[in-house]
Amino acid sequence: MSQNPSTSTSQVTSEAARRRTFAVISHPDAGKSTLTEALALHGQAISSAGAVHGKGSRRGVVSDWMSMEQDRGISITSASLQFDYRDCVINLLDTPGHADFSEDTYRVLTAVDAAVMLLDAAKGLEPQTLKLFEVCRARRIPVITFINKWDRPAKDALELLEEVENRIGIKPTPVTWPVGIGGDFQGVVERLASKPEEGMVRFERAPGGATLAVSEQLSAEEAASRFGDAYAQAVEESELLAETDANHDQEKFEAGATTPTLFGAALANFGVGQLLDLLVDIAPSPFDRESDAGQRRAVDSDFSGFVFKSQANMNSSHRDQLSFVRICSGRFERGMQVTQAESGRTMSTKYAQTMFGSSRDTVEEAWPGDIIGLVNATGLRVGDTIYAGKKITYPPLPAFAPEHFGALVMTDTSKAKRFRRGIAQLDAEGVVQVLYSERRGDATPVLAAVGPLQFEVTIARLRAEFDAPAHVDNLPYQLARVTDAAGAKALKTAPGVEIFTRPRDGAILAAFPNKWRLQTIQSDYPDVKLVALLAGGQG
């Protein structure tokens, strides 16, 4: 099916230009989900922000919809929020911060045009932060940095910038600069050339932080009178930054050489409005994407998109499966016929929805940059391309090298059918990699994961969603390599090696207890194919 003749290319281009599609990423506990809600609050998509679970009477964040997330106060799976702000449509994806759920985060990063990286002002760069910066750089995703929790004791602001530049090689270009040291946050000096007025924006916390903070523009004279040395120091440091060429440059930002940087406090809603405005002003809109053959699909050409996430049972009233699709080109219209590139099968899109956390609404049309959910789209898997008109296949999503292996054992054999259905569902979602070996048989699948928390999620969801209790027996493997049929045959009886098949894509994996055993096997079997997967924590 070609582009709807009633839809002009100029309309598609215009709608795409209004989209800002970005992910919020960070190390665990940097305040990522809190910032997500604060952004939605500033966009007037919600009237009261939730916060980390357990803060008095305040509810859990809207993007953390899974009971396990709400119980632990962490994000386990990504969530999509869409809302209007100014003249733009915001597609915001909240991601897990914990390294055990890196796969979900990295898949989300294939579906966005920019990223907001949170740094904890007291901790600076942390291991997961470093890895995520590297992934963004490898994927050429422009990054805006938000230094969070400035209302608490923190490192020196200039020291934080130096740490980012020295350890990552990306130059921070502050667009706001704090008035007051960490723990004594009074407001910010705005440094963008588009805001040349002198003075500062003063912040005042709203009761409980659940509603918008009060902000007030002060002139230079007012700021100097009220904040004295703190304001004078902020101005002096801002001038020093200008002398070191730490000013925003759009081309360098889009090339990934610089990261525009803001200071704020998401829980108090300080600086969040400036961040949302900055995203509208400088974040790139959807662009032409490359196919797996290296050809570019223009945003104003026929419809296309790819599945970057699959999720079942997001809401107890919706016991169904949702395939998250990033629209890359053309106009999507509910009910249109599209083709699945991998199988050539034609499918209808009658049940299409837009998401706001676990809430959903039917979507009639969508444009490049939007995230839509296709309900019970049988046969769609993570990484699949769908299109209308001229065929295109987008590059496959990366597979990750598991570092933890465990045999999944059902504890009630009378529920074997539910157990198998649950495992198939969680495998399709990519919650874990599900493997099988001749040694254990089909009744005992083996879970392979980047981190052990993925095992806990699997067990919890099997119990809660499929009434299929199970437990995991840990296996003594730490790494895996892709091999072929000849390699599997050669290594079948090798001590300390187990051969698995991965039904998801038909891959054959050889698992090893440690890198030394792998090195020995490579030496003893030099002709055997052993190909490394993408490192789970490195991308």
- Taking a C-beta distance cutoff of 8 angstroms, is the pair 423, 473 a contact? no
Residue 281 labelled as part of a binding site: no
Q: What is the C-alpha separation between 271 and 461, in angstroms, rounded?
A: 37
Strand partners, 232: none
Chain-centre distance for alpha carbon 269 = 22
Residue 123: is it exposed, middle or buried by C-beta count within 10 angstroms (0-12/13-18/19+)? middle
- Residue type at 330 in one-letter notation: G
- Taking a C-beta distance cutoff of 8 angstroms, is the pair 441, 402 a contact? no
Q: What is the largest CA-CA distance in the chain?
A: 80
3-state secondary structure of 124: strand
Residue 383 labelled as part of a binding site: no
Tokens of 390: 């001229």
Tokens of 260: 């525009």
- Taking a C-beta distance cutoff of 8 angstroms, is the pair 282, 248 a contact? yes
Q: What is the C-alpha separation between 208 and 58, in angstroms, rounded?
A: 9
| Total residues found in the chain within this entry | 539
Provide CB contacts within 8 A for 424, sequence distance 6+: none
Tokens of 119: 């740094």
Pairing of strands 371-375, 289-290: unpaired
Match 């067990």 to its residue by tokens: 459
Residue 97 labelled as part of a binding site: yes
Cβ neighbours around 336 below 10 Å, total = 18
Strand partners, 292: none
3-state secondary structure of 273: helix
Residue 98 labelled as part of a binding site: yes
Residue 228 labelled as part of a binding site: no
- Residue type at 244 in one-letter notation: T
Phi, psi for 375 (deg, rounded to 5): -90, 130
- Pseudo-torsion of CA 311, 313, 317, 318, nearest 10°? 40
Cβ neighbours around 466 below 10 Å, total = 21
> What does the angle CA 398 – CA 402 – CA 404 come to, to the nearest 5 degrees?
160
Sign of the torsion formed by the C-alpha atoms of 56, 58, 61 and 66: positive
Show binding-site residues: 94-98
Show binding-site residues for GTP: 94-98
